[in-house]
Amino acid sequence: MDLSAIVADIAAEMAEAPDRGTPADYIPALAGIDPRRFGIAIVEADGQCHLAGDAEDSFSIQSISKVFALTLALGAVGDQLWRRVGREPSGTAFNSIVQLETEQGIPRNPFINAGAIVVADVLLGGYEPREAIGEMLRFVRALAGEDDIVIDAAVAQAEMETGHRNQALAHYMRAFGNLHHPVERVLGVYFHFCALAMSCRQLALAGRYLMARGLHPGTGRSVVSPQRARRINALMMSCGHYDGSGEFAFRVGLPGKSGVGGGILAIVPGRASIAVWSPGLNARGNSQLGTLALERLVQRTGWSVF
């Protein structure tokens, strides 16, 4: 199978795609990105890397950071995390508040905003926000094996200024006792995680531990146990695309996590870590062409967990 030719074909097809979705417009840094951008990167289990389109250009990974934050939080508090966050798909929008009222302030899963805010609270622990943010940055750099990954401070600042829904979610959960630190400190951590800027290549490199039973293929060291890697993949499959998770499983059939920056990280256990990016989103806030590209890729490769 010639994966380099496949990704080149897919990038060429995506360049011609008429329906590209609409970039997120709640902050200027995202609204201003050209919807013609498209990148794809595949890192195989043996380390071979296949790139096409804008695979080397940085973009805002947004909610894809929730995978790395969850991994760190499980490392910090283990399965106790599940007392404060559920493991069920929500079937509601990523920023929805409705279920919190009848479910005692416990978010359905760690990949909706409410769940990721609880995860940020866990990672804040006894630290200063800047220490928790630094820890995340070091973690993601180590996963990718590259040091030139940064947090876009302008994106984080704009998120803070416009994040009224996230403020509402955080205050609501704090009222239930499910947030242990002051809301502004927790959200400072959450927004800086969302503002991580990475290329498709870096993101695919960072996702390798999830295809490799929890091992970092670059160093051979364990990032998480095989069981934990399997569980994170399961959550990506069931909850990684919010109320579009069923559709993504149906069309692509891989664990995946999307972000409103237009990126998607998808994992083929044992085979490959894949990142795609195209800023136009579909109605559920997931990358329109990123999803289509992954659908084409699994058609061509036969990759699926099913």
Q: Please compute Rg for the chain using Cα positions.
A: 18
Interface pick for ligand DON out of 90, 109, 113, 233 (rule CB under 6 A): 113
List, in order, residues 6 or more apart from 250 with CB less than 8 Å away: none
Residues 282-301 that bind ligand DON (CB under 6 A): 285
**How many residues of this chain bind ligand DON (CB under 6 A)?**
12
- Min separation Cβ 56 and ligand DON, Å: 22
User: What is the distance between the alpha carbons of residues 280 and 261, in angstroms, rounded to a whole number?
Assistant: 8
Say how many CA atoms lie within 13 Å of 230 toward its Cβ.
3
> Which of 58, 66, 186, 287 does the annotation list as catalytic?
66
Per CB under 6 A, does 136 bind ligand DON?
no
Tokens representing residue 269 in the block: 């256990």
A 10 A CB-CB count for 38 gives 29
Per CB under 6 A, does 63 bind ligand DON?
yes
- Min separation Cβ 86 and ligand DON, Å: 18
Residues 1-60 that bind ligand DON (CB under 6 A): none
Per CB under 6 A, does 95 bind ligand DON?
yes
Cα distances (angstroms) measured from residue 284 to each of 21, 93, 102, 163, 251:
11, 7, 24, 18, 15
Has 260 been annotated as catalytic? Answer: yes
Has 242 been annotated as catalytic? Answer: yes
Interface pick for ligand DON out of 58, 71, 166, 291 (rule CB under 6 A): 166
Per CB under 6 A, does 109 bind ligand DON?
no
DSSP bridge pairs for 275:
41, 265
The answer to whether 273 is annotated as binding is: no
Per CB under 6 A, does 232 bind ligand DON?
no
Per CB under 6 A, does 194 bind ligand DON?
yes
Per CB under 6 A, does 258 bind ligand DON?
yes
Has 26 been annotated as catalytic? Answer: no
> Which of 67, 96, 155, 190 does the annotation list as catalytic?
190
User: What is the distance between the alpha carbons of residues 278 and 274, in angstroms, rounded to a whole number?
Assistant: 14
DSSP assignment of 224-280 = S-HHHHHHHHHHHHHHTTGGGHHHHHHHT-S-EEE-TTSEEEEEETTTEEEEEE-S-
Tokens representing residue 188 in the block: 């400072």
DSSP assignment of 128-158 = -HHHHHHHHHHHHHHHHT-S--EE-HHHHHH
Q: Which helix (H) or strand (E) holds 40?
A: strand 39-44
Per CB under 6 A, does 111 bind ligand DON?
no
Has 224 been annotated as catalytic? Answer: no
Q: Which region, judged by CB under 6 A, interacts with ligand DON, from 69-77, 172-180, 258-266, 287-295?
A: 258-266
Interface pick for ligand DON out of 11, 187, 260, 264 (rule CB under 6 A): 260
Contact between residue 114 and residue 107 where contact means Cβ atoms under 8 Å apart: yes
Report the binding-site residues for substrate. Answer: 63, 113, 159, 166, 190, 242, 260
Question: Applying CB under 6 A, which residues contact ligand DON?
Answer: 62-63, 94-95, 113, 159, 166, 194, 258-260, 285
Binding residues: 63, 113, 159, 166, 190, 242, 260
- Active site (catalytic) residues: 63, 66, 190, 242, 260
